[in-house]
Structure 1
Amino acid sequence: MPATFVVVPMWQGSVSVRAMSHADGAIAILGDLPSSATELVEVPVEAGEALGTGVLRYSTVLRVRELTAKALGHVPDLAITIGGDCGSSVAAVAHASARTGGDLAVLWLDAHPDLNTPESSPSGGFGGMTLRAITGEGADGLALDESTRISPDRLVLGGIRAIDDEERRFIDEHGVSVLTVEDLSDPTVVIAALEATGASRVFVHVDLDVLDPSALAGLSYPMPFGIAATELTALLRAVVARFPLAGAAIAGFAPGSLEAAADDLPTILRLVAALTSGATADVA
């Protein structure tokens, strides 16, 4: 099926010192996507207010979620969402879940599980609450509703290397499948974990910090001992070959400069090409 790219230059969910660079990263990727198959979400420039929710910049994060959902509503087939920070994936998963009637597993490739709540988050950044919101828990308007939320037993986390106490509690309580970086180097292990969820389709979220920092300079939260770019590319191709892709997202590109962005783009575009290897859209 053809793929449509929905670019969301959202930075408001990040609390990194390089938070605003997420918008620059999304725009940099946009420049190498096919214009005829790409839609840009006009993210508000203002930071936004928490409004007592415990989510920093909540008002703008909520507005971006609404704008992204509207853009995704125009996509007839496969949507690949390009962030921005991880918060852009909430609307993307909701869209995929609605299209599949909930018959969906989520492969979350990230150095962090993003399973905090507004109450447990040490920072208040929505990026660290994104996957919890996808399971239906979180601030009003951000957490997915009963018709689209993803059950914890449909989650497969890969490459997680930094887990907060509440995130660990949630993982243990719900028996969430967690794969190591070493596991990711063997696609058969990942595919087996996805098959064990019982879902027939998959949504793949790639936060670029799942990569080792040696693979990419433009990371807002670089974590050592990540996966190599070649191994991640091979994994994505294997997953797409095994499962119909219901949707995907790439997030977390925060280049330090335009020159640095240019150095990283070939790696990112190889990941995009891997995700779309079962689709008919071309990547420049």
Structure 2
Amino acid sequence: MNSTSPAGPGALRLIFPQWQGASGPAAHQLHRGVDAHDTQLTYNLGPALLQLMAPDHDGPTAYVPVSTDTADEALATVNGIYARDAVVRQLREALKILRDAEPRSVVTFGGECSVSVAPFSHLASVYGDSLAVLWIDAHSDTGVPGDTYTGFRSMALATLAGEGDAGIIAELPALIPPANILQVGLRHWDDEGIAVKERLGIQTAGMTGTPRDNRRVLEWIAGTGAQQLAVHIDLDVIDRRDFTGSVGQNTDGMRMSDVVSLVNDAAAAADIVGLSLTEHIPTELMRLGGLLRDLPV
């Protein structure tokens, strides 16, 4: 394929507006002027906007049904995972869609980072060890139940590598060998998941987008022998000078042009059969929603 746009027979666009993996409302009080539960639900709105702005798509599109219930009982922390029941239910829905559609390539619009678990596991079941993963993210996402942070998004990559909640891992059709995972853009080296990442031996590459850094990624792909790639992009990896619609608020991230350059270079080395865009948080629109609720419209 050698394209940055997964396409061709079996291509699927998966709209997965899951927000429950982003932990509880207390973690979202930072967005001034927006109700905490409304801030959680921005993860639900983000994928719809990505779909609206995305280029036309000739293949099938599927929507994972996601609950918007913010009642305490619906979001109970179980086995160290916030809103585990909703996370598991929605994971099963996504996996059912993938089983029925049998796509050989998937573009996923999320939602928080754990939306990549279902499509990447599906692609691993299709391509086996020929699939490698580029996880472009400011965070490691290799946390496990029992960590202080209980959101499943922080556990997404560890789960794909077979580490974490045994019940959730048992739902997956295939796992990704840690040797076939490369993290790019990681800058939160104080996350609890770093110890798991290092124990698993998941490698990292530079984040500046220089030709030297991109060469390191290409050399890593060649070393895996992978013919296919699944690329996860958490928008928090992007420098806020280029984009502010995510949880990333620092100016030490990757520039948008660096991300595009990296993905284009990677596409020349292997077929991109999976691409996820996650963590789009349009909080300004949620503020506008609050205004609409307060006006007689």
- Asked if these proteins are the same fold (TM beyond 0.5), I'd say yes
C-alpha distance after superposition, 1:22-44 (max 9, x if no partner): 11111111223436532222212
CA, structure 1 residues 147+79, in 2 after alignment: closer, same or farther (shift >3 Å)? closer
Query: CA offsets, 1:171-225, max 9 Å, x none?
Result: 3333321113126664222111222223222111000111111111211243431
> Where does residue 234 of structure 1 map in the other structure?
261
In the alignment, what sits opposite 1:161? 187
**Does residue 189 of the first structure (1) align with residue 216 of the second (2)?**
yes
> 1:25 and 2:52 equivalent?
no
Match runs of 1:109-258 below 5 Å: 109-120=136-147, 122-143=148-169, 148-164=174-190, 166-182=192-208, 186-258=213-285
Q: What TM-score, normalized by structure 2, do the two folds share?
A: 0.80
Identical columns (%): 27
Contact 2:42 2:286 in 1 (8 A): no
The question of whether the paired residues in 1 share the 8 Å contact of 2:113 and 2:156 is answered with yes
**Matched position secondary structure for 1:217:** coil
Q: Does 1:76 align with 2:84?
A: no
CA RMSD of aligned residues (A): 2.4
Q: Does the 8 Å contact 2:235/2:248 carry over to 1?
A: no
Measured at CA, do residues 164 and 259 of structure 1 come closer, stay the same or move farther in structure 2, by a change above 3 Å? closer
TM-aligned CA deviation for residue 165 of structure 1: 5.7
Query: Which one has a bigger Cα radius of gyration?
Result: 2
Whether 2:36 is the aligned partner of 1:9: answer no
CA deviations on 1:236-262 (whole Å, 9 max, x unpaired) are 11111210123121101001134999x
Whole-angstrom distance in 1 between the partners of 2:286 and 2:87? 29
Unmatched tracts of structure 1, length 5 or more: 262-284
Q: Is the 8 A contact 1:183 1:189 kept in 2?
A: no
Deviation for aligned residue 1:147: 5.8
TM-score by length of 1: 0.83
Q: Secondary structure at the match of 1:115?
A: coil
Q: 1:63 & 1:181 partners in 2: Cα distance?
A: 35
Structure 1 pair 222–63 and aligned structure 2 pair: CA distance change class (3 A):
farther
AA of the residue aligned to 2:109: I
Unaligned runs of 5+ in 2: 1-6, 29-38, 289-297
Whole-Å separation in 2 of the counterparts to 1:51 and 1:42? 21
How many residue pairs get matched? Answer: 260
Runs of 4+ in structure 1 off by over 6 angstroms are: none
Match of 1:93 in 2: 120
